Amino acid sequence: MAVGNHSAGDDLQSFLRALPKAELHLHLEGSVEPETVLELNPSLSLDAIRTNLHYTGFAGFLRAYVWLTQQLDSPQAYALATRRMLERLIPQNITYVEVTLSVGVVLWKKQNVEQIFEAIRRETLLFPQIEVAWIFDAIRQFGVEAASRVFEIAKDLRSGGVVGIGIGGDEERGPAAWFGPLYKKARDSGLRLHCHAGEVSGPESIWQALNVGAERIGHGIRAIDDPELLNELVRRDIPLEICPSSNVSTGAVSRLTEHPLRRIWDAGVPVVLGTDDPALFFTDLIHEYMLAGEIFGFSRDELKVLAANSLRYRFQARD
Ligand code: ADE
Ligand code: ZN
């Protein structure tokens, strides 16, 4: 209830801001706001940029994501994207972030990953308030050979803060099972294993992610259709990184009130909230926690557990 100019929503915002939190599901490329694209390319207009970023459906979303990624045409552009991303995370009291970099797309653009990563890393050193680690993502529909290059580069850049590998893109056109031997090799080289799964495809896709050794699942919301899978996630203590605004924007879920977040939580599955691609979904991490509180009925104690989970399930060991 509003008291004077001060509402319960303001109170919840302050409460959430004060919680130390990690962001574990965030794509650098999907964090590039239209204003940053304009900084990178002043010959574009904000209207034209927004038109390119407008989409419907999951396939349309992936095209918008690729367009955004194409705007990052140099190491300096990636560095600016990193700077603007960190500037948005710090005021939310996010103390640790694992950023996913679509290295599969960097290679597809024929850019030099090492130079880009060096520029990015230099930028992160300007922000000692936040600890930054990286997950190198392959694009599943580009196939096994392309993913193998991504994971090899990840291994070589471990000392620069790459903590894990994953696969993103279109799960219908690149089943996790293809990547089993590569995942094993990555794990043997000390990398942690991530996998987008069960975002638009059914539980079978999540089972495959588990079978190749994924330690955290990006989205995983279709687990709700398979009680045995829910039990397995609980038993193995595998968290789902749930990004409600993303799922509505991409059409993975028809509307927020249909989202299975609460039911997955009630089944006892570990949950971490994330934003995925905040510039494409008009969100930030505090907003996702606000939705949990206001739409999904998470109590303050439950919100505290969500925030604690985000730190608990990080890939990089704490100092
Ligand atoms: N890459 C960036 N965002 C993604 C998503 N939501 N699903 C699959 N791949 C992605
Ligand atoms: Zn994602």
pLDDT in tens, 72-109: 999 999 999 999 999 999 999 999 999 999 999 999 99
Catalytic hit among 199, 215, 241, 288: 199
Q: With a cut of 70, which residues of the chain have pLDDT below it? A: 1-5, 319
Alpha carbons within 13 A on the beta-carbon side of 10: 7
| Structure-token pair, residue 197 | 């799964």
Q: Which ligand is nearest to the CA of 25?
A: 2
CA of 26 to the centre of ligand 2 (A): 7
> How confident is the model at residue 4, as a pLDDT?
62
- The set of protein residues with a Cβ atom below 6 angstroms from ligand 1 is 27, 30, 65, 168-169, 196, 199, 246, 276-277
What three-state secondary structure class fits 21? strand
pTM above 0.85, yes or no: yes
Q: How do residues 177-224 score in pLDDT, each as one tens digit?
A: 999 999 999 999 999 999 999 999 999 999 999 999 999 999 999 999
- Sequence-separated (6 or more) residues with CB below 8 Å from residue 83: 123, 126
In terms of Cβ atoms closer than 10 Å to its own Cβ (0-12, 13-18, 19+), residue 93 is: middle
Gap from CA of 129 to ligand 1 centroid (Å): 27
| Residues in Cβ contact with 312 at an 8 Å cutoff, skipping those fewer than 6 apart | none
Work out the burial of residue 54: count CB atoms within 10 Å of its CB; fewer than 13 is exposed, 13-18 middle, 19 or more buried. exposed
CB neighbours of residue 223 within 10 Å: 29
Is 294 annotated as catalytic?
A: no
Identify the residue whose tokens are 């580009």: 142
7, 9, 13, 16, 256 from 294: Cα distances, Å: 13, 8, 11, 12, 11
Tell me which residue has tokens 């008009």: 282
pLDDT for the residue numbered 3: 53
Task: Compute the distance between CA of residue 274 and CA of residue 24 in angstroms, rounded to an integer.
Answer: 6
Q: Which of 94, 184, 122, 197 is nearest to 147 (CA)?
A: 184
Pocket test for ligand 1, best of 65, 221, 242, 250 (most atoms within 8 A of CB): 65
Q: Measuring CA to CA, how many Å separate 308 from each of 194, 240, 290?
A: 19, 14, 16
> Which ligand sits nearest to residue 140's alpha carbon?
1
Q: What's residue 296's pLDDT?
A: 98
C-alpha 112/C-alpha 125 separation (Å) is 21
Atom of ligand 1 nearest to the CA of 169: 9
Q: Looking at residue 318, what is its pLDDT?
A: 79
In the chain, DSSP finds a helix count (H) and a strand count (E) of 16, 8
For residue 298, what pLDDT is reported?
Answer: 98
**What tokens were used for 268?**
């006892």
Protein residues within 5 Å, CB atom, of ion ligand 2: 218, 276
Q: At what angle do helices 180-188 and 144-156 cross, to 10 degrees?
A: 10
